[in-house]
Chains A and B, each alone.
Chain A
């Protein structure tokens, strides 16, 4: 039975300040047919408020199914899903969905509505007044970097693929949801446009701090965006961890292969310089190139190669030297992971 309960939990009311919801899955299973293998198999998962979590896995591993159970486009065969303290099953689906942003790959926009009307869909469903909606539409267009005067009155067919996805993102953000579900939103875009939109998403997420569940099967996209990655295979969660740990300590060979853990450049672009830092005392600090403590090993390596220096000085945010890096220390820190199923590398 469905009770009508408040959706207050699901969206923030403060105008400028947002925060994310906690999303929790408990033993969630989905079967499409009675005798078929489950598309999602007994998944339990807790996503902290405001986290950007990537669902990563090969085609058919159940990512979309998992996502669509959260906004009840699909119903789980068994198990429970909570957003903050509300079990999603206790809300009427339309009510629930108006408080969860939803972005899909293509054809997500309504082709017969202008950009402004597309973005206004959810506020209209929520009964906002016209002035507030108009203000919000312009605000959102600006947020996704589309000048309102130019874009408000366009139809989706008058937009490039990248612009369409920006509008899709704006539409999903319209009613200030605290949870966002994104199913391969940038999958159909060229590499440059995709990188732009990834940056925008990161910027918006930093600003609004919603909880984001983002499906992709592109590992580059995953490590670029993720605070945590959920690796899925055959409907199960194989590993749920930070990108760094997934790449340096893959749970098994499947994960290692999926994320390309053996790719040294990928590891180095994920590992912070902190891991390779050496005491400063060994080096003379004069005229040696500096590198920020927030950089990654890959940045350090390119700087070493470019400058021709044999070491770099690591500085903190106040430009104080805190340590040094050398080619050897980078090599040590970026050494291949030892994952259980892979035979240990033979040392020279």
Chain B
């Protein structure tokens, strides 16, 4: 790979696009599964403070397992394909999601929450109208980091036939076809960048971010 050979990317753009869609599908599926789990863990940790240390430690340790080792470990029980890939992606995403859900919710001023109760909101109204909106920027930042991480790790799970853009990397390496590898790398980086920007835009649109911009802070 001495020079930037974009021929594969250009000549097979239909195939690269199909793999990109597949990659997005795998990543979003992982996020959709990961998020409810993280919400449960995060809310548990916020509600019952003593649980937050064990929960954070657990998801932190799981994240430090090297992905290839994790994959090899899963093959005997979960086989190969989408299923073990999703398991890994969901597990890795937890650390970012849970940590930011906890930080976000705990970061809201308790006096503001008491004021919300004080004016007559029910518990659910306090959560949806005040607590969650105020925690949202931090939580969305967690989702952004989690999703970008998922997109990166989802290129490695192609090794166990989970599909996605990682195919280009592994097949390209096997066939000693640098242009194919490069096409995969470019597509993955582009996808990660677009995702990052897209979610930053969502963060920018939250009420808290608007209020912050208005206040000049």
| Residue positions of A touching B, CB distance < 8 A | 71, 73, 93-99, 102, 104, 106-113, 121-122, 125, 154-158, 171-172
Q: List 16 A-B contacts (CB under 8 A).
A: A96-B120, A98-B119, A102-B115, A102-B119, A104-B118, A110-B115, A110-B116, A110-B134, A112-B133, A125-B119, A125-B120, A125-B125, A157-B211, A157-B212, A157-B215, A158-B214
| Cβ contact within 8 Å between B118 and A111 | no
Closest B residue to A95 by CB, please name it.
Answer: B120
| Cβ contact within 8 Å between A111 and B134 | yes
Interface size counted on chain B using CB atoms at 8 A:
27
| Cβ contact within 8 Å between B211 and A111 | yes
Q: What is the CB-to-nearest-CB distance from A250 to chain B, in angstroms, rounded to a whole number?
A: 33
Residues of A within 8 A of B129 (CB): 110
Distance between Cα atoms of A155 and B207 in the complex (Å)? 10
| Cβ contact within 8 Å between B214 and A94 | no
Other than the given A125-B125, A157-B214, 18 more pairs (CB < 8 A) read A94-B120, A96-B120, A97-B119, A97-B120, A102-B118, A110-B130, A112-B133, A112-B207, A112-B208, A112-B211, A125-B119, A125-B121, A155-B215, A157-B212, A157-B215, A157-B217, A158-B216, A171-B119
Cβ of B111 under 8 Å from chain A: yes
Q: What is the CB-to-nearest-CB distance from A169 to chain B, in angstroms, rounded to a whole number?
A: 13
Interface secondary structure of B, over-half rule: helix
Closest A residue to B217 by CB, please name it.
Answer: A157
Q: What is the CB-to-nearest-CB distance from A139 to chain B, in angstroms, rounded to a whole number?
A: 18
Distance between Cα atoms of A121 and B208 in the complex (Å)? 17
Known: A110-B112, A110-B130. A121 touches B215 (CB 8 A): no
| Residue positions of B touching A, CB distance < 8 A | 109, 111-112, 114-122, 125, 129-130, 133-134, 206-208, 210-212, 214-217
| Cβ contact within 8 Å between B120 and A98 | yes
Distance between Cα atoms of A95 and B125 in the complex (Å)? 13
Closest A residue to B215 by CB, please name it.
Answer: A157
Q: What is the CB-to-nearest-CB distance from A158 to chain B, in angstroms, rounded to a whole number?
A: 5
Residues of B within 8 A of A102 (CB): 115, 118-119
Q: What is the CB-to-nearest-CB distance from B117 to chain A, in angstroms, rounded to a whole number?
A: 6
Tell which of B111, B120, B214 touches A155, judged by Cβ atoms closer than 8 Å. Answer: B214
Distance between Cα atoms of A83 and B211 in the complex (Å)? 38
